[in-house]
């Protein structure tokens, strides 16, 4: 996104991790531009409808607002890398519009496929890979 820094992706797996987990979790953080809250809400409702009717591997897609509604967090969970890729394809041009409503940062937790890693290379999304888990 123009004007926003690209994120580096860490690919280190130096920790203790004993299982191959394909599920991915995402956290997107929005801090809205002045006057863009209603645009975000309208676009978020469209995104939610797409998630509910078209996505086949989205396990969670929840939106939370701060008390003053100047910021929000979107929590996402996907069955695997292919499900996240499918979700992104379904949102299409809507993604650019919703990202334009504020300053956006995000994290992806898990072990994405090599293809998804490559697609994320020039994004503001930080990747966190497993270290310890129950």
Stated pTM of the model: 0.82
Q: In what order do the strands lie in the sheet with 24-32?
A: 58-65, 71-78, 24-32, 102-109, 125-128
What CATH code would you report for 24-128?
3.30.70.100
Residue ranges of the domains in the chain?
Answer: 24-128
Per-residue pLDDT of the chain (134 residues; tens, 9 = 90+): 344 433 333 333 334 444 456 899 999 999 999 999 999 999 999 999 999 999 999 999 999 999 999 999 999 999 999 999 999 999 999 999 999 999 999 999 999 999 999 999 988 899 999 999 88
Task: Read off φ and ψ for residue 103, nearest 5 degrees.
Answer: -80, 130
């Amino acid at each position: 996104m123009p004007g926003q820094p690209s994120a580096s992706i860490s690919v280190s797996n130096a920790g203790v991790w004993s299982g191959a987990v394909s599920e991915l979790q995402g956290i997107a953080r929005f801090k809205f531009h002045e006057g863009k809250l209603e645009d975000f809400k309208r676009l978020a409702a469209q995104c939610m409808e797409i998630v509910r009717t078209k996505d086949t591997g989205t396990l969670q897609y929840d939106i939370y607002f701060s008390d003053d509604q100047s910021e929000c967090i979107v929590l996402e969970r996907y069955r695997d890398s292919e499900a996240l890729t499918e979700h992104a394809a379904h949102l299409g041009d809507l993604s650019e519009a919703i990202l334009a409503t504020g300053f956006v940062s995000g994290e992806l937790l898990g072990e994405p496929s090599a293809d998804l890693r490559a697609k994320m290379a020039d994004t503001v999304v930080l990747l966190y890979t497993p270290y310890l888990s129950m």
